[in-house]
């Protein structure tokens, strides 16, 4: 039986979560929190890499980040339609792992799969608490749903200081060599925006956000429900 986790982060593809919140994950795992990632697809439509390659890269990134668990639902890449069976698969994962906090991609993004993933997770978090939905599994009430940024950073509601964990985040991204390393001559890979200094651009984005609070690096998040605090 899988132990309950503190944080469950969903991505449409392996590497989405690492791009958006790899530093925040590393910060929490280093403090003993249990963190899991669930990839909705195996990124089988990616221009570079194979499904097996991405599995190996995701496993390496998971070790770098110190994850307690990682899973793949194997929903169709470029086919996240919001069908009932897709929602059920995500709700089942939430109820298996029983997280306190759930993270999903920000709801506005230039990649349609990221937008679809955001919508699917929001619906699944709502359904997960309904006693009469999939009654064979105990309902789970997630304390808060946070949205992380992959390609853009709009309307940032919260930021976390990842200054001490940026190196770990970069190492987790470097595990995805098929996506981010420039193609070499004779290699069966093509040039894409991801192979053109993408990791450096992510680092620059996190540095600029960190500077807003005087930190070296930060990651940003958005929320739709009020964030509760006990002290100011």
What pTM, to 2 d.p., does this model score? Answer: 0.96
- Between β-strands 7-11 and 35-39, what pairing exists: parallel, antiparallel or unpaired? parallel
Sequential DSSP letters for 36-78: EEEES---TT-SSS-HHHHHHHHHHHHHHHT-SEEEE--PPTT
CATH classification at residue 164: 3.40.50.10320
pLDDT, the chain, mean = 95
Contact between 212 and 82 (Cβ < 8 Å):
no
Does 90 map to a domain? Answer: yes
Does 1 map to a domain? Answer: no
SS3 115: helix
Question: Measuring CA to CA, which residue among 194, 204, 190 is closest to residue 153?
Answer: 204
Helix (H) or strand (E) holding 26: helix 16-30
Does 42 map to a domain? Answer: yes
* pLDDT digits 0-9 by tens, 26-54: 999 999 999 999 999 999 999 999 999 99
Does 124 map to a domain? Answer: yes
> In the numeric block, which tokens belong to residue 93?
């994962």
**Model pLDDT, residue 229:** 80
SS3 215: coil
Distance CA 37, CA 203 (A): 21
| Helix 16-30 and helix 166-174, axial crossing angle in degrees, nearest 10 | 140
Into how many domains does the chain fold? 1
Higher local confidence (pLDDT), 185 or 72: 72
Distance CA 128, CA 105 (A): 18
Model confidence at 188, pLDDT cuts 50, 70, 90, reads confident
> In the numeric block, which tokens belong to residue 77?
């890449």
Which residues, 6 or more positions from 222, have their beta carbon under 8 angstroms from its beta carbon?
106, 107, 146, 147, 149, 154, 155, 156, 157, 158
Question: Measuring CA to CA, which residue among 36, 39, 20 is closest to residue 28?
Answer: 36
| Helix 51-65 and helix 166-174, axial crossing angle in degrees, nearest 10 | 160
pLDDT at 55 over 80: yes
Does 228 map to a domain? Answer: no
Phi and psi at 60, nearest 5°, equal -65, -45
**Model pLDDT, residue 1:** 59
* pLDDT digits 0-9 by tens, 88-147: 999 999 999 999 999 999 999 999 999 999 999 999 999 999 999 999 999 999 999 999
Does 70 map to a domain? Answer: yes
Does 137 map to a domain? Answer: yes
Distance CA 28, CA 99 (A): 14
Distance CA 95, CA 185 (A): 47
Q: Which domain holds residue 196?
A: 7-223
**Model pLDDT, residue 186:** 76
Across residues 52-76, what is the average pLDDT? 98
Does 207 map to a domain? Answer: yes
Distance CA 96, CA 83 (A): 20
Only one residue has tokens 């619906």, namely 123
């Amino acid at each position: 039986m899988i132990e309950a986790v503190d944080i469950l982060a969903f991505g449409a593809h392996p590497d989405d979560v690492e791009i958006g919140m790899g530093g925040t994950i590393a910060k929490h795992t280093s403090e003993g929190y249990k963190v899991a990632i669930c990839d909705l697809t195996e990124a089988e439509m990616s221009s570079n890499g194979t499904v097996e390659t991405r599995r190996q890269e995701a496993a390496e990134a998971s070790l770098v980040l110190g994850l307690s668990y990682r899973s793949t639902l194997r929903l169709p890449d470029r086919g996240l339609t919001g069908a009932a069976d897709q929602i059920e698969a995500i709700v089942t994962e939430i109820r298996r792992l029983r997280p306190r906090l759930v993270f999903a991609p920000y709801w506005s993004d230039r990649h349609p799969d990221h937008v679809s993933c955001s919508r699917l997770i929001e619906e699944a978090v709502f359904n997960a608490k309904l006693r009469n939905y999939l009654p064979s599994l105990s309902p789970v009430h997630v304390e808060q749903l946070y949205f992380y940024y992959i390609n853009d950073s709009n309307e940032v509601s919260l930021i976390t200081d990842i200054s001490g964990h940026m190196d770990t985040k970069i190492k987790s991204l470097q595990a995805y060599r098929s996506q981010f390393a420039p193609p070499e001559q004779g290699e069966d890979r093509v040039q894409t925006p991801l192979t053109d200094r993408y990791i450096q651009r992510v680092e620059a984005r996190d540095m600029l956000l960190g500077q807003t609070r005087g930190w070296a690096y930060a990651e940003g998040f958005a929320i739709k429900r009020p964030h509760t605090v006990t002290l100011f």
